[in-house]
């Protein structure tokens, strides 16, 4: 009987050691802080490009977040591991419930691709978030000295239309079609146009049908995009997101117009024109 207990004890000890090793290899601190990373949740980041130069961005303060920062790269070069940070700022100051960052000297132009890493501080730990991309569109560019209008003061003809305005108000739909036609003319002048889009999300591996379902679910959860969910034809894994194809160019441009405020869906043509690099490699040596 004593021998049986001894064998059982040794087995338990081995299993416990394996469990500890597994936790260590998976990142003990990540496992320890896995309770929703208190103080590290971050809201959507708003950008405003100033003309002729300057950039400002802000995000709402989430509970327990004490500090907010950004490392931002303009048109990063594909394959280069070390490149200078164009905007590296942080703040602990809160204004009207938001963290604001501003750089007066940086020059950003329409069509530039911004790759940025958000950094949060909860007073005890600092966390670097997943890299994200933003394609600078004309609506982001504001004359210097004038802030973007608050959401409540925009008119129905602006890009921040609600889904109800887009699909029920004739003037709003006409304004949307006018912007789409303008985009088509610009695309034709550039000579490159495809029916591919890019959804930014945590990197996912799996069958194409599963990836397509993730994109469909994203559309179904947003009133403005839900009517266009049927246009999605296929999806495949991409760096930090999913590349998906829609039925035609007009549907693609409608999606870009209706999703532009959330910055989650990007034009895959513009990404591949510069090089769809994964800037996580920039931090491998840190």
Contact 129, 42 (CB under 8 A): yes
Instruction: Identify whether residues 130 and 60 lie together within a single domain.
Output: yes
Is residue 190 assigned to a domain?
Answer: no
Please state, for a pLDDT cut of 90, what percent of the chain lies above it. 35
pLDDT at 78: 66
Task: Decide if 15 is inside a domain.
Answer: no
Distance CA 127, CA 29 (A): 11
Q: Which two tokens stand for residue 37?
A: 């990373």
- 143, 177, 212 - which closes a domain: 143
Domain extent at residue 58: 46-143
| Per-residue model confidence as pLDDT tens digits over 9-68 | 554 444 444 443 343 333 334 434 445 467 788 878 889 999 889 999 999 988 889 999
Would you say residue 259 lies in a domain?
yes
Query: 237 pLDDT band (50/70/90 cuts)?
Result: confident
pLDDT in tens, 95-150: 999 999 999 999 999 889 999 999 999 999 999 988 899 999 888 888 765 554 44
The three-class DSSP label of residue 50 is strand
| SS3 state at 246 | strand
Cβ-contact 225, 258 below 8 angstroms: yes
Work out the percent of the chain whose per-residue pLDDT is above 70.
62
Radius of gyration for the chain, computed over Cα atoms and rounded to the nearest angstrom: 23
The pLDDT score that the predictor gives to residue 47 is 92
The alpha carbon dihedral of 72, 76, 80, 86 has a sign of negative
Residue 91 lies in a domain: yes
Residue 185 lies in a domain: no
- Per residue in 184-202, pLDDT tens? 655 555 556 789 999 988 7
Summary mean pLDDT of the chain: 74
Question: Cα(227)–Cα(193) distance, rounded to whole angstroms?
Answer: 23
Using CA of residue 129, residue 131, residue 136, residue 139, what is the dihedral sign? negative
267 located within any domain: yes
118: domain CATH number?
A: 2.60.40.2140
- Report yes or no on 285 lying in a domain: no
Contact 258, 166 (CB under 8 A): yes
Check whether residue 139 and residue 225 sit in a common domain. no
pLDDT of the residue at 42: 81
**Domain end (from 143, 161, 187):** 143
Distance CA 236, CA 104 (A): 39
The DSSP code for 95 is B
pLDDT for 31 equals 35
Q: Is the pLDDT of residue 6 over 60?
A: no
d(CA 202, CA 19): 26
Average pLDDT over residues 192-219: 84
Give the least confident one: 37-41, 137-141, 161-165, 224-228.
161-165
Residues 144/267, Cβ–Cβ less than 8 Å: no
Q: What total number of domains does the chain contain?
A: 2
> Rounded distance, CA 30 to CA 35, Å?
10
Round to whole Å and give the CA distance between 68 and 55: 16
Domain membership flag for residue 13: no
Examine the domain organization and report whether 50 and 113 are in the same domain: yes
Q: Return the pLDDT at 79.
A: 64
Lowest mean pLDDT among 15-19, 54-58, 70-74, 207-211: 15-19
């Amino acid at each position: 009987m004593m021998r049986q207990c001894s064998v059982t004890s040794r087995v338990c000890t081995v299993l416990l050691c394996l469990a500890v090793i597994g936790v260590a290899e998976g990142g003990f601190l990540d496992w320890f802080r896995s309770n929703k990373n208190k103080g590290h949740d971050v809201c959507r980041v708003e950008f405003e490009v100033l003309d002729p130069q300057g950039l400002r961005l802000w995000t709402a303060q989430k509970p327990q977040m004490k500090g907010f920062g950004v490392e931002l790269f303009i048109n990063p070069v594909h394959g280069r591991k070390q490149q200078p940070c164009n905007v590296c700022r942080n703040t602990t100051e809160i204004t009207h419930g938001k963290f604001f960052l501003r750089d007066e000297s940086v020059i950003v132009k329409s069509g530039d691709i911004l790759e940025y890493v958000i950094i949060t501080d909860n007073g005890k730990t600092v966390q670097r978030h997943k890299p994200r991309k933003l394609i600078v569109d004309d609506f982001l560019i504001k004359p210097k000295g004038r802030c973007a209008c608050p959401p409540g003061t925009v008119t129905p003809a602006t890009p921040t239309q609600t889904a109800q305005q887009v699909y029920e108000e004739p003037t709003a739909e006409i304004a949307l079609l006018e912007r789409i036609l303008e985009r088509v003319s610009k695309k034709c002048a550039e000579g490159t146009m495809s029916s591919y889009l890019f959804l930014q999300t945590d990197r996912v591996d799996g069958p194409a049908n599963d990836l397509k379902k993730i994109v469909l679910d994203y559309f179904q959860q947003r009133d403005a995009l839900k009517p266009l969910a049927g246009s999605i034809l296929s999806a495949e894994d991409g760096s930090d997101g999913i590349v998906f194809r829609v039925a035609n160019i007009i549907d693609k441009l409608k999606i870009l117009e209706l999703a532009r405020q959330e910055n989650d869906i990007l034009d895959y043509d513009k990404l591949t024109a510069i090089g769809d690099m994964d800037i996580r490699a920039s931090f491998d040596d840190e």
